[in-house]
Structure 1
Amino acid sequence: MVAFTKGHGTGNDFVIIADPDGELELSSDQVAALCDRHFGIGADGVLRVVRLSAFPEAAAALAEEPAAEWFMDYRNADGSVAEMCGNGIRVFAHYLVRSGLATIDPGSTLPIGTRAGVRDVTVSADGYQVDLGRWKLSGDDPLAKARGLEVARPGLGIDVGNPHVVVALASEEELASIELEYIPELDPALPAGANIEFVVPGEPLVRDGIGHVSMRVFERGVGETLSCGTGVAATALAVRYWAGERAPHDWQVSVPGGVLGVRMFPTEDGEHVALSGPAQLTFSGTIDLI
């Protein structure tokens, strides 16, 4: 019997399992069973809450930020391991705070270990903000084919700790027409796969100094989700890249589950991108692991 809490960030939902001492080993099949929406709890992924000191794979993160106590062991709905999750880490931080396992004082940050490195979380006006760190163009710019699109479209590869391919569309009608219950195809295929974002710029693109775009996403190892935090960041970065030097550094990205904020800002080690938005816990319970 395992205790769990269910949470979500703009509809991107997770099963949260506290395992501070790293005693629980979840198989891929068990993760998939927990996330099954008919026979399990139902979620886009599992967040295991474990101390960095109890997670041998996190040695590099400990060296990077000795003050970090917690590691977000994130697994996709199919049981596969993922590097990072922008919505998930906000929900993870909210769980730590609500459970009394951590605090975030005004003006302070909560460092959380992930497979993409340590990420700093702060409290924001709409919930939590996470600094996703440095981003880069991956150099992987495949064509993207999707059911409902008459022709393949060029994609832009963006790395924000995990891989993304962002694809621009012409209209909201075209965005709505894509059938994301079918897996989009990338040509050439990427060995590690990628999350694929389909994007429509706002009309107008910039209002009051803030960029506006709409997005749908197919998440690697999950399928279409109501929101993808790192995908939102990748989307804003891609549209700014396409728009040119005069494009803003602050964006609002509309997804089926709500609206998230993205901010790009300079640091000593290069430009970082931050994601902000709500996080909610919905219910708790226990379940037998099979």
Structure 2
Amino acid sequence: MRDNAGMIWNFTKMHGAGNDFVVLDGVRQSIEMTPERARALADRHFGIGADQILVVEPATRDDADFRYRIYNADGGEVEHCGNGARCFVRFVHEQGLSDRNPLRAEIATGVILLNEGDDNQVTVDMGSTRFDPADLPFETVGLASRAEGDAILWALPIEGELQPVWLSTVAISNPHAVQIVDDVDHAPVERVGPRIESHPRFPRRVNAGFMQIVDRHHIRLRVYERGAGETLACGTGACAAVAAGIRRGVLDSPVAVHTRGGTLHIAWDGQALRMTGPAVSVFPGQIDIDALVFSLALTR
């Protein structure tokens, strides 16, 4: 709605395993998102603070209940967010927008199925999983490669590093590049993550995953996300890591993925990929979005 102060938006702050969001109801209020507005909302010092901004809108196709859009903290719109998807279904139910369960959500690459359980956990059918580098896209001409199990690994040279990084590439709507490390606590996430994310071999950038194998049903994971930096948890990143590990022959479904923000449970049979985890509402609020953008501009 609009008053004399500007455009007032109602929002809810939410998180899924520490991956935090500002969620906006675009069904009952008009939400005209721009990169500047998304960046202002996500700013942790001058705005509300979030890894991503989620917008719930009326569906544009007959086989979906709602449309679900995701904006990273840098203002760019992305294809999918697994932790956000769980918060999406919890938001829709808590706000009384629908009592359907499961829900079908329209995302940029298709429709996903979401089911809220009685145990405060939400299960998401994550859609198709693809491993062709062209699906990310990832330019492989001239790169060394090797087979490991059913997977093909690629040696990506990183500026400033003595050795290339051996990566599995996975597209789960979002693009992911996953490497295995000995210990995620000491992995070079801050140093190498940004260089993988923006590597010229990934024209649309990529999410960089660092996976430690605990045993065949447990991993530890850190992800440097495209447009957001390292987050406490990454849902599509957890799915990508598990799928990559199963194809490499080092994991068996189901897999518990331990992130810095909590544990996600991933099951994959080679076709259907499902993720289960928490979704928590933190607080509701209102924001004058135009005033926020203006005040943020004054700090630059």
Instruction: Please tell me whether the aligned partners of residues 142 and 156 of structure 1 are also in contact (alpha carbons under 8 angstroms).
Output: no
Asked if residue 272 in structure 1 is aligned to residue 272 in structure 2, the reply is yes
Q: Deviations over 1:94-113 (max 9, x none)?
A: 000111112245xxx21111
Pairwise mapping of residues 144-163 of structure 1 onto structure 2 (< 5 A)?
145=158, 151-163=163-175
Residue 146 of structure 1: CA displacement? 8.6
For 2:253 and 2:105, the matched residues in 1 are separated by 25
Instruction: Please tell me whether the aligned partners of residues 146 and 183 of structure 1 are also in contact (alpha carbons under 8 angstroms).
Output: no
Residue type of the alignment partner of 1:38: H
Determine what percentage of the aligned residue pairs are the same residue: 31
Instruction: Please tell me whether the aligned partners of residues 69 and 112 of structure 1 are also in contact (alpha carbons under 8 angstroms).
Output: yes
Please name the residue that 1:174 is paired with: 186
For 1:9 and 1:173, the matched residues in 2 are separated by 21
For 1:265 and 1:189, the matched residues in 2 are separated by 30
Q: What TM-score do the two structures reach when normalised by structure 2?
A: 0.81
Instruction: Please tell me whether the aligned partners of residues 85 and 230 of structure 1 are also in contact (alpha carbons under 8 angstroms).
Output: yes
Residue type of the alignment partner of 2:285: G
Residue type of the alignment partner of 2:203: P
Give the alignment's Cα RMSD to 1 decimal.
Answer: 2.2
Residue 21 of structure 1: CA displacement? 5.8
Residue 27 of structure 1: CA displacement? 1.1
1:133 counterpart SS class: coil
Residue 242 of structure 1: CA displacement? 1.2
Using a 3 Å threshold, how does the CA distance of structure 1 residues 265 and 286 change in structure 2: closer, same or farther?
same
Instruction: Please tell me whether the aligned partners of residues 87 and 229 of structure 1 are also in contact (alpha carbons under 8 angstroms).
Output: yes
Please name the residue that 2:293 is paired with: none
Asked if residue 35 in structure 1 is aligned to residue 42 in structure 2, the reply is yes
Instruction: Please tell me whether the aligned partners of residues 22 and 50 of structure 1 are also in contact (alpha carbons under 8 angstroms).
Output: no
Using a 3 Å threshold, how does the CA distance of structure 1 residues 181 and 155 change in structure 2: closer, same or farther?
closer
Gaps of 5+ in 1: 53-57
Residue 145 of structure 1: CA displacement? 3.8
1:100 paired residue among 89, 96, 102: 96
Q: What TM-score do the two structures reach when normalised by structure 1?
A: 0.84
2:87 paired residue among 73, 83, 91: 91
Pairwise mapping of residues 1-290 of structure 1 onto structure 2 (< 5 A)?
1-20=8-27, 23-52=30-59, 58=60, 62-63=61-62, 65=63, 68-105=64-101, 109-124=102-117, 125=119, 127-139=121-133, 140=138, 141=154, 143=156, 145=158, 151-175=163-187, 177-179=188-190, 183-185=194-196, 189-202=201-214, 205-206=215-216, 211-243=217-249, 247-265=251-269, 271-290=271-290
Residue 172 of structure 1: CA displacement? 4.0
1:78 counterpart SS class: coil
Residue 289 of structure 1: CA displacement? 1.0
1:216 counterpart SS class: strand
Using a 3 Å threshold, how does the CA distance of structure 1 residues 132 and 122 change in structure 2: closer, same or farther?
same
Gaps of 5+ in 2: 1-7, 139-153, 291-300
Residue 169 of structure 1: CA displacement? 1.0
Instruction: Please tell me whether the aligned partners of residues 104 and 123 of structure 1 are also in contact (alpha carbons under 8 angstroms).
Output: no
